[in-house]
Structure 1
């Protein structure tokens, strides 16, 4: 592989209270080294973060010790709490995952009516960091209408929130909405790159649900130029997070 830098834009770290798994630093380091991946965006599991904010703090502390890690903050469900900070300064981005939804698999549309939501959107707009945003398609469409210009990254090309091609149709012309490749097929990834351009698609693995090697192979196998692959593999996430590689 002739790439100066490869960044996995979507991986979990730590324990999951509901799944009974624990993604260790050692496992992520092993997969990254075996795959030639330079940096990894790490995110707490939703169930653990919702239960206690401590995991956000632990993830940040781990990232200080592991140069490969790029920490994202899980945006917790108590966003109406006074003094709530959705993405504190040391983090490079955030994760929104079926906010106050059911079983982590379905949107709660009452959130869109919540009087505290506009303030949260204002906070996120001022912070101006990318948010991995996972909701049903209709919920996502309504949220984007409420939050124009907010930088969202839809994981799995929208696979867990509906049909990826429906997501593509809905957000094809919205340049604030990006997609990551985790768990998508090579043909789906190619379709997105051809439709919205390589500058709005990011490589991700979603460990432990995918492996870095297998998810990376899909991107490397795309019949696109080396320069376009560089966008997916590093340049897009560097631009969105303002990541300074000289600090690694």
Structure 2
């Protein structure tokens, strides 16, 4: 059976449901470790490497070389600041996310080259190279760890489902950003598709007992108590 542990609790630069309007803190995503026996899956390595590596050791006793997979709930740069610390791991992202982001990056790269913007082209080439390193996630990452599409926040955002005897756990990414978003039935904005994001939010509520939020801790689903 797969077990999970939150390595780092994420936060929003400003929390609209706390009445905050301007940015008051650096944003970062919740980073979660899933231990499925031989598979050690790190989800959204958002903190910079110099912070994330000691945090991982502190929270799990693991060093980067013990991580077998890195999974990104989406390809936003904020979710992968520390990914290069896990060079020995297999990097995974949802197939639709990989394809849609790849098409956008290639188009922007060609536009930058055509405009003679070498600095932008160089930056985009680095993004393309990193995306190429990320493989499309299989439907099952390990025993007890299943891919769970949650389209809407981005075109191909996905979570991970951990069906357990006592509770169904869903690492939801920004589909459920925080406890307040869950309690008030709201999705984080802006999103790629509000309609899709709301539908994905409903799917999380329907299936998960415990939800690992994208910018908060693990929370209990009040609809399934």
TM-score normalised according to structure 2 size: 0.32
Indicate the structure with greater helix content: 1
Indicate the structure with greater strand content: 2
TM-score normalised according to structure 1 size: 0.30
